[in-house]
Amino acid sequence: MINRQELKKEIICSLNEQGFVIQGKEICLPSDGSKASVRCVHEKSVLTKRNKAAGKLKKKESMLLSYLADGKEIEPRKITPRLHLVQRKTDDELLFRYACLHWSIPVSSGYGRRLRYLVYDDYNGKLIGLFGLGDPVFSMKARDNWVGWDMEARRKRLRHVVDAFVLGAVPPYSYLLGGKLIAMLAASNEVQQAFREKYRDRSSLISGGAHDGQLAMITTTSALGRSSIYNRLKYRDRLLFQSVGFTSGSGDFHFSNGIYEELVQFAKEHCRPTAKKEEWGKGFRNRREVIRKVLSELGLSWKLAFHQVRREIFVVPLARNTQAFLKGEDLELGHYDQPAAEIFEWFRERWLLPRAERDRRYRDFNPESWRLW
């Protein structure tokens, strides 16, 4: 049985070690609030995730690094991106997981429905980047206000929304603004078609009824405050990613540096899960419920669940009538036409070639510099 006082002290020490400042019942970020300081408070969680993954990925690392391009293998005018849907228990899945370990914040595995993509360069067979789409959180004030949802409309229509839980380019393509390309490709016709084929006619436990396969919107949040990738990102004359506000700064990453397993064990011994519908499964609803219940049981403030890292929230409407459809006013979506090939041609002329001319850093990248172990 876990000792209450020891666990309480361990939580406080863990937060201090990550760089948080505890003021009364709340925690605060380092005073400068820079992106560098925000990265620092994520470091222990990222390292914990890497250490857990080492058992399966370390022995495969050389093979996985072979998918990264040496800078001298890049020919900007010959880049030819290809979307590749990741299947379970394949080398593609290992590569997806390995690349995510290099993000400066711990990457979620996604929830519920999931589509994971790798984007390859067909010119040289190397990895450009990746993105993952999963179920969105049920309640997000800024998103819900933008749509104009009431509780009932959200319950019925949230299944037509997915969240990009990870999205970005890997070097050396990241030096060529590849992150913008990956963001744009996530909204392509091809991804919408894959969603339709995978989820049409599937029933939802929460909303009930069979899914018609229509995807109306993608949401995502920036990693470190205001986003340099998504802001002002246009496809032709239309803003693709629309900023709708910031998160409240709550979450669980600051309890994911090895201490979370102890919190789960303590919760099982001393806390009662919030009631669920039987068909949704048993136990605690999610990680946040575990954390809040344990904090309360230990006599610590629930406000410690607020890490204060406020991330910018973006919505990506996929149709001219996304809002009307999500509110239940329209029954069919008038999708924008966004073929992946045309998206790339736009990106190529607008961002890729001008960047390649003025910034040659991509030429210096060596895949060995990405080695973790």
Give pLDDT, residue 31: 63
Q: What pLDDT, on the 0 to 100 scale, is given for residue 184?
A: 98
Confidence (pLDDT) at 357? 96
pLDDT band per the 50, 70, 90 thresholds, residue 25: confident
- Determine, yes or no, domain membership for 61: no
Mark whether 136 and 37 lie in a shared domain.
Answer: no
Q: Which domain holds residue 290?
A: 1-56+253-305
Q: For the whole model, what pTM was predicted?
A: 0.88
Domain boundary among 285, 305, 325: 305
Are 240 and 261 within one domain?
A: no
Residues 258 and 245 in one domain: no
pLDDT above 80 for 278:
no
pLDDT for 225 equals 65
Strand order in the sheet with 126-134: 81-85, 114-121, 126-134, 161-169, 217-221, 312-317, 242-246
Are residues 269 and 156 part of one domain? no
Specify the pLDDT at position 70.
Answer: 98
Q: For the segment 329-355, what is each residue's pLDDT rounded down to a tens digit?
A: 999 999 999 999 999 999 999 999 999
Domain count, the chain: 2
Shared-domain flag, residues 80 and 151: yes
Let me know if residue 322 belongs to a domain: yes
Q: Calculate the average pLDDT of the chain.
A: 90
Q: Is residue 200 domain-shared with residue 316, that is, in the same domain? A: yes
Q: What CA–CA distance (Å, rounded) separates 347 from 131?
A: 17
Residue 275 has pLDDT above 60, yes or no: no
373 falls within a domain:
no
| Residue 104 placed within a domain | yes
Phi and psi (nearest 5°) for 271?
A: -120, 150
| pLDDT for the residue 69 | 98
Could you tell me if 5 and 99 lie in one domain?
A: no
pLDDT of residue 281: 59
- Both 278 and 159 in a single domain? no
pLDDT (0 to 100) of residue 129 = 98
Residue 311: which pLDDT band, with cuts at 50, 70 and 90? confident
The domain boundary residue, chosen from 286, 305, 324: 305
Contacts of 159 (CB under 8 A, 6+ apart): 204, 206, 207, 211
Burial 212-223 (b: 16+ CB within 10 A, else e): ebbbbbbbbbbb
Residues 337 and 352 in one domain: yes
Looking at the domain assignment, is residue 35 inside a domain?
A: yes
Let me know whether 77 and 191 are in one domain. Answer: yes
122 within a domain of the structure (yes/no): yes
**Sorting pLDDT into bands at 50, 70 and 90, what band is 26?**
confident
Residue among 229, 213, 211 nearest 221 (CA): 229
Residues 207 and 296 in one domain: no
284: in domain = yes
